[in-house]
Structure 1
Amino acid sequence: MARTAPKVERLAEDGEALTDALQEVLTVAEEKGTVTWSDVSDEMTSGEWGRLIESGLLIDADGEGFVVEDPDGVREALEESDAVPEEEDDDGGWTTWDKLAGLATLGMFAGYSLNSVRNAIGGVLDIALGPLADILPFYVVILVLAVITGANSTILQDNLMDMSGMEQHQEKMQDIQERRKKAKERDDQEALDRLEEEQMEMMGDQLGMFKKQFRPMVWIMVINIPIFLWLYWMVFGPGLTLEAPVAVFPIYGEVEAWRQGVVGPMQAWIVWYFLCSLSFTQVIRKALNVQTSPGAG
């Protein structure tokens, strides 16, 4: 069953006609012991018959027809497939709240170029973050906020990103490549044409997958952008005086002001924020054992 279920699931993803064809083949094989094309030609197309053979669920019985490799496993997998209704999700799993968060994110992006937006967001956040800046050196404030944004990114990715969907997509792509290789070896042009159609359908699936994987990024930005804009507001607005505390950066050395260029045009405060954010995000991911890519762990 462990090997059979994924094969049946891939057939189910390709359409109900294939699972119906598999059910018919299973019924005939149980009645007669073996099944041939002539037994089921009235119930399915030659393409569907060939697809069942390619899947490995239908195997040759020494020239006396075909048998279902794992009848019990196929029957159980078909029952599970029928029990789970297919969901049409043109929005890639996005809810109304996700879309509103996306619009809010686009609006906050304006804060990078419009002083009025940046001042409004910075002023509001300063109510909560201002006392932190009053009691801690600014480099510690940046470090604390980098930890907060890193933890926020990691937790939201862990809860909203569908790694299993990405893994299934990769497995399906690998399965198509393996079947394509076998079809080339036996010079089966009909099978190659079917596989090419499957690959074209996979391109549409990739777009839906991208929309699903972008969903956590919207919520990450809803929280992280205002924090970053507050830092921007502190450095360039009334929040932070130009006489910033001297900081010592690795390799670079002493920094006299937070607006000082450190890496090309990148100023000290930005570089320090990204150094802290990248470092602590990796630590948090390891500590929480968060998977952010298929097959990773």
Structure 2
Amino acid sequence: MARTAPKVERLAEDGEAMTDALSTVLAAAEENGTVTWGDVSDDLTSGEWGRLIESGLLIDADGEGFVIDDPDGVREALEESDAAPSDDDEGSGWSKWDKLAGLGTLGLFAGYSLTSVRDVIAGGVIDIVLGPLNDMLPFYVVILVLAIITGTTSTILQDNLMDMSGMGDHQEKMEDLKERRKAAKERDDQEALDRLEEEQMELMTDQMGMFKQQFRPMVWIMLVNIPLFLWLYWIVFGAGVDASPVITLPIFGEVEAWSNSVAGPVQAWIVWYFLCSLSFTQIIRKALNVETTPTG
């Protein structure tokens, strides 16, 4: 089952027709012992038949037809595939809302290069909410408040949209595969090495799904953070900031203005934002007991 489930999952990604074809072939093989193209030609296409052979689920029975490799595993994987949520449900896949959030994020990026877009987003929308805050508080406190907001939303989104336990399980499988591969090399077992190479390819496919899952919360995080960051940029370089003549930053010391560069091209307001964000995000993760590293 360990190697069968990923094969069935890849077939399911090709569409419901492939899982139906696999179910048909499985039923014919269980009824007759073996299955040939003639037994199922009325129910599936030659392309679907070839795809099943290519997947390794349908194997040659020494010229007597074909049999299903691991029929129990195939049956269980098909049942899990039928019960799995659709693309619009919560899971490692991207729903239509995730894709809309991705498009929105790409649109927001235009604010960094187009003044007209930045003025509409920051000056026309975000400033309605944050303008009064900026009038009441010193600018360094405003940045501190926004760093807490973005740190909290980022932590909550990561906690809800990422499955750290699944990533931990994948890492454990990779470590176990590495140990078994080393042992097979030591005893010069080529057959075992071939099987392990096939298993490694399947795990690499799973790893691509993990990368996709890791990127999913980043889309939502940027959808929240970019407008706030654009507002800070608009305040510093557009609307102007009421600040004391000298600003004292940790590590960097005194700076005359928020727009001054303190580390290469990096300006004072960006440094202060990231110092606040890094510090409070760690506190928020501890307070909410959120894990952001893979766990078994």
Q: Which residue of 1 aligns with 2:81?
A: 85
> Does structure 1 conserve the Cα–Cα contact (< 8 Å) formed by 2:5 and 2:77?
no
CA–CA separation in structure 2 for the residues paired with 1:252 and 1:175: 46
| Unaligned segments of structure 2, at least 5 residues | 9-21, 27-60
1:249 has 2:249 as partner? yes
Unaligned residue ranges in structure 1 (runs of 5+): 1-7, 21-40, 50-74
User: Structure 1 residues 245 and 150, CA, compared in 2 at 3 Å: closer, same or farther?
Assistant: farther
User: What residue in structure 1 maps to residue 35 of structure 2?
Assistant: none
Give the superposition deviation at 1:218. Answer: 0.4
Moved more, 174-183 or 210-219: 174-183
- Which residue in 2 is equivalent to 1:28? none
8 A contact 1:149–1:224 mirrored in 2: yes
Matched, 1:261 2:249: no
**Aligned mates of 2:75, 2:5 — CA distance in 1:** 15
> Which residue does 1:213 correspond to in 2?
214
Q: Is the 8 A contact 2:236 2:259 kept in 1?
A: yes
Partner of 2:99: 99
Give matches, 1:275-286, under 5 Å.
Answer: 275-286=275-286
* 1:13 is aligned to 2:5: yes
Equivalent position of 2:127 in the other structure: 126
Match of 2:194 in 1: 193
Tell me the residue number matched to 2:47. none
Equivalent in the alignment of 1:65 = none
Shift of 1:186: 2.5
**Residue 204 (structure 1) aligns with:** 205
1-side partners of 2:86 and 2:223: how far apart? 24
8 Å contact 1:247–1:254 — kept in the other structure? yes
Shift of 1:292: 0.5
Where does residue 174 of structure 2 map in the other structure? Answer: 173
Corresponding residue for 1:272?
Answer: 272
> Is the Cα contact below 8 Å between 1:244 and 1:258 reproduced in 2?
no
Tell me what 2:37 maps to: none
Q: Which of 187-196 and 271-280 deviates more?
A: 187-196
Does the 8 Å contact 2:87/2:95 carry over to 1?
no
Deviation of 1:85 after TM superposition, in Å, equals: 3.3
- Give how far 1:120 is off: 0.9
Aligned-pair CA distance for 1:114: 1.0
CA contact (8 A) 1:260 1:267 kept: yes
How far residue 82 of structure 1 moved from its aligned partner, in angstroms, is: 7.4
Note the C-alpha offset of 1:197. Answer: 1.8
TM-score by length of 2: 0.71
Distance, in Å, in 2 between the alignment partners of 1:83 and 1:245 is: 68
Shift of 1:258: 0.6
Residues matched between the structures, number: 237
Deviation at 1:244, TM superposition (A): 5.2
| Root mean square deviation of aligned Cα | 3.2
Tell me the CA shift for residue 190 of structure 1.
1.2
Identical-pair percentage: 68
Residue 90 of structure 1: CA displacement? Answer: 8.5
Residues 239 and 260 of structure 1, relative CA distance in 2, 3 Å threshold: closer
Please give the residue correspondences for 1:102-113 in structure 2 after superposition, counting only pairs within 5 Å.
102-113=102-113
Q: Deviations over 1:59-83 (max 9, x none)?
A: xxxxxxxxxxxxxxxx9x9998776
Alignment partner of 1:237: what SS? Answer: helix
Alignment deviations for residues 66-118 of structure 1 (CA, whole Å, 9 cap, x no partner): xxxxxxxxx9x999877633649899510000001001111111111111111
Residues 1:13 and 1:171: Cα distance change in structure 2 (over 3 Å): farther
TM-score (norm 1): 0.71
